[in-house]
Amino acid sequence: MSEATIIKEGILLKMSQQKKKISPRNYKVRLFVLTSQALIYYEEEKGKKKRKKGSILTESVYCVEKVEPEKNAPVERKFPFQIAYDECILYMFAKDDANRTEWLEAVMQVIRGNDKLSAKYHKGFWVDGIFLCCGQTVKNSPGCSDWDKESRKLRATSRNIALPPVPSAKLRDRIQLPPIPEDEGCACVEVVALYNYTARKPGELNLVKGNRYVSLQKASGDWWKIKDTAGAEGIVPCNYIKEVETKKSDKDEMSRTSKRERPSKIKSHLSHSLDEHIEDYPWYVGNMSRVKTEQLLREKGKEGSFVVRNSSQKGVYTVSLFSRALDEVNGTVRHYLINVNAEGLYYVAENHLFDSIPQMIEYHQHNGAGLLTRLRFPATESDLTSQSTQGVWELSRKDMHLVKELGSGQFGVVQLGVWKNKHQVAIKMVKEGCMSSDEFIEEARNMMKLRHPKLVRLHGVCTECFPIYIVTEFMSNGCLLEYLRHQGKELQHQCLLTMCLDVCEAMAYLEDQQFIHRDLAARNCLVDNDLSVKVSDFGMARYVLDDQYTSSAGTKFPVKWSAPEVLTYTRFSSKSDVWAFGVLMWEVYSLGKQPYEHYDNACVAKRVMQGHRLYRPQLATEQIYQVMKSCWHELPEERPNFQRLFNDISAFVKESKQ
């Protein structure tokens, strides 16, 4: 790899190859690097290359072409293309059609000399053991559409038709470039390729139109020496590249800064300039002293109250955070210094880097990720409620008539109510001072964002005084767990399957909306009078930006429904919800039994980490049990997603009706 010149590289979305029919379909962002020998893809983080995930030898590729997007495909999957090689097909998704065309042409440039280019290809995806375009069920079956590879070749080489003339090779061969001194990094200029250029002699470098390079030296008027992102160096025609314009102030700053000085200079410059841009955010309190900050946060006394303040040193910022995780009575205030690395990226937890402080704050409002708790509430908020829980969602308490208590728990009480003298509703209420009041409000906020037929519907809230009300639709048959325990013996096999399907449909929606439930269990689902099931209890639900939420210290979670990565690292994702869904299916088919009923939490955690899993319930067929077991794979990436589970369970429902 180090010897091969990079022809093109970039970030693409990759679909799993489903080498087995039962393999789950998932999508991963990968950094792709194309050379003349191979297409290699890596894990990426903020555009940087991480662990290698796979590679394809270019000599094995026999087709590269567009793919018809699936019906109602999300925006990030609107521009798919394929690379067919050996007996496999790699599906990738570009950000737009121009980007896709660039990749198609770059790959075609590399493979155009291959001996076994195909005459046909499949224009539809291979999904779950079948081609969507023609219905063939063999992955290496002949294509159903003609592939005009000659046209593709023509398009791939057309950019060279009207290219500028290449400067004299004699002049190039006489060039003797001096070594680049160590301390002249500041003299380097960034350039962009105007055209594709294929190296013709040793010492030259390939160019890919649009890619950026570093000009090491203007060797002469005609040939420049440049370096690509992989570190490969060579000379190229100067009329094939142009210098990237840089602001004069930036040039001056960089010219005054040596390599060894640059990181600290960048840190100071970026931190100082940001002081002018965060004053409008509600969490910024300016140059507040540490003592006054702690006093403010303790007065609020709310889990996750926080502010961002200037410390005494100009240009240095601190996140101050209040939590009861370590001291439930008095609480704890922690101060986290906002650091800036050599690339000018901000962080409080080193594995999570951001371009700005507002971006960092937004991330940690959804993810604890190394902090004592999430950044839940700016301490400048006047009370427990905010604008997001008012307006159209605010209901009049006078319109509520309480009928009877339906249940109670650590959050408070649930009452059956009548709204406006005609609508039956369920009313959750919590008293002032209750330790779970923040979670109570969190649940209401989450329900406002989520609307689906298989989620318990929010009608509104009453927040003007205590006790606070969360008003939801009334589900006449109550909690799924209790219904299974008392009425389960009367249910047919198809009904049990449909209950699982209802929950799976709700979870597929949450997954699509980038929400993690974190507390999925039969006790948190409700049954309506028609025996349809809806998911409820969103107090622990979190919106996630990257399908991962690392819980803060001291967070409690349901051990018997938790995946290995939750037990070990308190790391939640949609795949940890999939694990919990498998346990919920087990609850349904065991008619409400307690999972691992003979073991306490510590023993359960130990046994799960050793590979032990729940046994097959008597009412579950071997096929159903295999679905459960697929949810309990030790590796999250090997578990199916909810859409795949929904498809599988839907197929079982259809079979049961025949």
Q: Taken in order 379, 385, 388, 391, is the CA torsion positive or negative?
A: negative
Residue 383 falls in the annotated catalytic set: no
Nearest of 440, 588, 596 to residue 503 by alpha carbon? 588
What are the φ and ψ backbone dihedral angles of 170, each rounded to 5 degrees? -65, -45
In whole angstroms, give the CA distance from residue 30 to residue 489: 49
Nearest of 464, 466, 483, 472 to residue 415 by alpha carbon? 472
In whole angstroms, give the CA distance from residue 521 to residue 579: 11
Q: Rounded to 10 degrees, what is the CA torsion of 497, 498, 501, 502?
A: -140
Q: Could you say which of 519, 537, 577, 648 is catalytic?
A: 519
Helix axis angle for 622-631 and 574-589, nearest 10°, is: 150
Instruction: Please count the other Cβ atoms lying within 10 Å of the Cβ belonging to residue 453.
Output: 11
In whole angstroms, give the CA distance from residue 208 to residue 197: 7
Nearest of 120, 220, 231, 206 to residue 170 by alpha carbon? 220
Q: Taken in order 139, 145, 149, 152, is the CA torsion positive or negative?
A: negative
| Sequence-separated contacts (24+) of 125-132 with Cβ below 8 Å | 125/15, 125/67, 125/68, 125/70, 125/80, 125/91, 126/18, 126/89, 126/91, 127/18, 127/25, 127/70, 128/18, 128/21, 128/25, 128/647, 129/18, 129/21, 132/68, 132/70
Which pair of structure tokens corresponds to residue 298? 């303790």
In whole angstroms, give the CA distance from residue 334 to residue 374: 12
Residue count of the chain = 658
What are the φ and ψ backbone dihedral angles of 204, each rounded to 5 degrees? -90, 165
In whole angstroms, give the CA distance from residue 440 to residue 523: 17
Active site members: 519
